Amino acid sequence: MLDFFTIFSKGGIVLWCFQGTGVTESFTGPVNALIRSVILQERSGNNSYTHDALSLKYKLDNEFELVFVVGFQKILTLTYVDKFIDDVQLHFRDRYKNELEQKGALTLLNSCFAFEDDFKMLLCEAEESSKARGPTSMRSFNASLKSQKTVKSMIETKGGDKGKEQGGKKNKNAKKEAPAVEPVKGEQAKAPASAQKTVENGNQGLTQEDIIQKKREEFIRKRMWAPAEKPSKSPKPAKEKPKGKEKRVWTLGGSSTKELDYSQRNGNGAHATGDHVLDAQADPGMQLSSMKGDLLAVDYESSEEEEEDAVERVVVADTSKKIPKKGAFGGMFGMLKGLVGSKSLSQEDMEPVLDKMRDHLIAKNVAAEIASQLCDSVAKKLEGKVMGTFTTVASTVKGALQDSLVQILQPKRRVDILRDVLEARSQRRPFVITFCGVNGVGKSTNLAKISFWLIENGFTVLIAACDTFRAGAVEQLRTHQRRLNSLHPPQDDGERPVVQLYEKGYGKDAAGIAMEAIAYARNQAFDVVLVDTAGRMQDNTPLMTALAKLIAVNMPDLVLFVGEALVGNEAVDQLVKFNQALADHSMSDKPRLIDGIVLTKFDTIDDKVGAAISMTYITGQPIVFVGTGQTYNDLRSLNARAVVGALMKA
């Protein structure tokens, strides 16, 4: 039933392994994939992993730094595997405790772990116990509660229609019997209507003639005093003619609108000779610094003292709740017991601290699901681990969580665009980057920033305007193209501009425009093609299909998802559905998915940087660029430790 079972150390030394009968394929591939994708990427919150046709279950022994892995066909449903792997772990620990306590690679290599007989015994016991339990048989109708009910009881308890009829009858009977129960009310009900009206109007004790005389007097008084009462109302003022809307005069606006018309003049008041001169001189803020070479890393100032204070606050909060006051010595020894090491961490010890950490991550914009998975991964990583001397649980958990976050943000592969562009240039083809994302996240703006960075490093850029849906999208890119060319004017009169725009207007097929732009760039020897696509929500199936078609047809070198740093749980939904749409609508066996992330609006979130964790954790892809402002210089690369420092700041 089992394909393989292996026990190895976290240093990579295989202590013992078992391979099932009839299994010829090596299990090194699935185990290596588990190590790369789960253990090294701090995704051990879930103890299962699927690789091709195999399902892998694993368990970490943090005290002796061991990993237990079992593999079986994923079409099988083996209910005993979880308990079986726990039994193997305990049995192996107990039997070879002395060898495992002598830590060191050489000791493990020289030790002999003859565990096959014990393993087969445990496997037989697990299989027999699963057969003994077996599937629960369905109860017969006579044994169910429904068979004991009568038809009458089922009708009465269903819906309450009959109860309404009975209730209605009871109410009618109650109304009929009311006069007998309350004779006083019944007599009042039988009294004539005229008597009731006289009582209500305060005319009790008057004769019929007196009542008529009184009504006449009231009628005459109303007729006489009615005209006199009207002037008591305040007279309406005479209608004045509505005044026209007054023109607002701005303090620095000038007296004439002609002074505000800069369409034919540059900043010095003289007529402009061209678009380049207009853009270069009209905006003094366009004088930007150089961006040659690699991008600067995004920085966040976080002092270690603040982090230590945050840890101490968590520790004090935990110890004050847990340690009861038992006199001076009792409190002192209780506190020391919580601090002194040489103690194995258990799930109960870490649970209060992990709950606080989880809430802290959610408050910093980490998606709730991702925060829970991270804390579960840290718990699995620390469970059974022996703490150091005078080390608190809070500081241990925080250190492990911080290491996990840094590991997540550090990419599995480094995306070096400058090197890749040079390699593509040597092959005489353009390097193609496609930008995708939801509406309003800043795709076109950050595309212009990346264009400026590439121009600064000596590359020529062709921008493909494939957003044929949003009004003004082409004009926005044309404005960026004009400004970028004004910042890098051609040296000679005959030299072409460093940035060009390839556009076919609106309402056209985006995939076709991208294909034509790439062919044009190849013929004209452009170094980079930046493909701008329309913003689309992840639930819009037609637009997601069109995006998948664009990527599948043109096969760009890099697919960048542009997401804003303001999102929380929405980041998970966006990335999962974008990747799913690209996979579903692809025409190849190995579909192109998102290769990297551009994180925008990073300057607006202070220390709530959790979106970076959520996006990287979901895709496993690196954050290539970080947008930190509105000028062409505001483009950075990600500094994992700075982001984690901001995230862990209280």
22 torsion bin: left (phi>0), alpha (psi -120 to 50), beta (else):
left
Give Dmax over CA atoms of the chain in angstroms.
128
Both structure tokens of 194: 């005229």
Quick one: how far is CA 534 from the chain centroid? 22
Angstrom distance (rounded) from CA 63 to CA 402: 20
Angstrom distance (rounded) from CA 393 to CA 337: 11
Which amino acid, 523? Answer: N
Residue 300 pLDDT: 59
CB 414 within 8 A of CB 408: no
Which candidate, 54, 63, 2, 65, places its Cα nearest to that of 31? Answer: 54
Cα angle: 64, vertex 69, 71; to 5 degrees = 175
pLDDT along the chain (650 residues), means of 10: 88 86 82 84 77 88 87 87 89 84 72 84 86 68 74 58 46 45 44 44 68 82 60 54 67 59 49 43 56 76 47 44 43 45 77 91 89 89 76 84 87 84 94 94 93 93 93 93 89 78 91 94 94 90 88 92 86 87 79 90 86 88 90 90 84
Which candidate, 79, 23, 84, 8, places its Cα nearest to that of 54? Answer: 23
Residue 192 pLDDT: 46
Annotate 83-95 with DSSP letters as a single string.
HHHHHHHHHHHHH
Domain locations in the chain?
A: 4-128, 343-409, 417-638
> Which stretches of 96-249 are DSSP H helices?
97-101, 105-110, 116-133, 151-156, 161-181, 183-190, 193-200, 208-229
Both structure tokens of 54: 């195999």
Residue 420 pLDDT: 93
* Residues 6 or more apart in contact with residue 524 via CB below 8 angstroms: 462
CB 81 within 8 A of CB 69: no
Angstrom distance (rounded) from CA 479 to CA 27: 57
Angstrom distance (rounded) from CA 638 to CA 623: 7
The crossing angle, in degrees rounded to 10, of helices 570-584 and 610-619 is 30
Angstrom distance (rounded) from CA 158 to CA 172: 24
Q: Is the CATH number of domain 4-128 3.30.70.260?
A: no
Residue 263 pLDDT: 54
Which amino acid, 336? Answer: L
CB 574 within 8 A of CB 567: yes
The superfamily CATH assigns to domain 417-638 is P-loop containing nucleotide triphosphate hydrolases (3.40.50.300)
